[in-house]
Chains A and B, each alone.
Chain A
Amino acid sequence: NAGVTQTPKFQVLKTGQSMTLQCAQDMNHEYMSWYRQDPGMGLRLIHYSVGAGITDQGEVPNGYNVSRSTTEDFPLRLLSAAPSQTSVYFCASKTGHATETQYFGPGTRLLVL
């Protein structure tokens, strides 16, 4: 199993540009989520999904869209990038069983100029 994969690893955008951060998992996990991490801060939940076709907002959803058309993929879209979205983005997945652990991807480092 590849686990949780994220692409790209690094990205530089100009203000106003759009892009999609990709996340995929091959563990047949029901639950997937996106976090952002800023310097000196913990991870903050952006959006999450409890299964294909179901998404919901986390702590900091503004400026981001998500969709979950398949169990494997959970892309994060920035429609109009802003400098405040400069961050490291982590995708995670787990089964629906409550005590199962959450697996994180390696992260995408995004710089918005």
Chain B
Amino acid sequence: DAKTTQPPSMDCAEGRAANLPCNHSTISGNEYVYWYRQIHSQGPQYIIHGLKNNETNEMASLIITEDRKSSTLILPHATLRDTAVYYCIVRVAEYGGATNKLIFGTGTLLAVQP
């Protein structure tokens, strides 16, 4: 699986959009980009994933560059409850087997300020 690079920490004002970047310059054509987050002392929570098109769900938007070497997770209106560590993970998506395992990095600590 391709390696990802994220800033260790970011601040965001409550109510504003939080834009979390992730570099994955060695991503290959069959690898998806996944985002999870971990609120303090809890298990990680899935947010969103995508292959090459931009994706949006009720939690966030995922913007993937055309060359797929980087992506940005957007929380459109950050709240204090969004304070968490955000993990960007790249992995091959195939049915079954070892390709299901997620390898986490150290992520970005997003601190939403009141």
Identify the A interface with B (CB < 8 A).
4, 30-31, 33, 35, 40-45, 48, 50, 56, 58-59, 88, 90, 92, 94, 96-99, 101-107
**A41-B106, A99-B49, A102-B102 known; A50 and B44 CB under 8 Å?**
no
CA distance A40 to B85 in the complex (A): 10
- Per-residue interface assignment for chain B, residues 49 to 60, with 1 indicating a CB less than 8 Å from any chain A CB and 0 otherwise: 100000000000
CA distance A10 to B46 in the complex (A): 24
Identify the B interface with A (CB < 8 A).
32, 36, 41-46, 49, 85, 87, 92-107
Beta-carbon nearest neighbor of A102 in chain B: B102
Q: B96 near A96 (CB under 8 angstroms)?
A: yes
Beta-carbon nearest neighbor of B94 in chain A: A98
Cβ contacts under 8 Å, A30 to chain B: 96
Cβ contacts under 8 Å, B100 to chain A: 31, 48, 50, 94, 96, 98, 102
Cβ contacts under 8 Å, A106 to chain B: 42-43
Beta-carbon nearest neighbor of A43 in chain B: B104
Q: Report which of A42, A50, A88, A105 forms a contact with B107, defined as CB distance below 8 A.
A: A42
Q: A43 near B44 (CB under 8 angstroms)?
A: yes
**A33-B101, A35-B104, A45-B102 known; A99 and B46 CB under 8 Å?**
no
Beta-carbon nearest neighbor of B44 in chain A: A104
Q: A104 near B101 (CB under 8 angstroms)?
A: no
Cβ contacts under 8 Å, A90 to chain B: 43-44
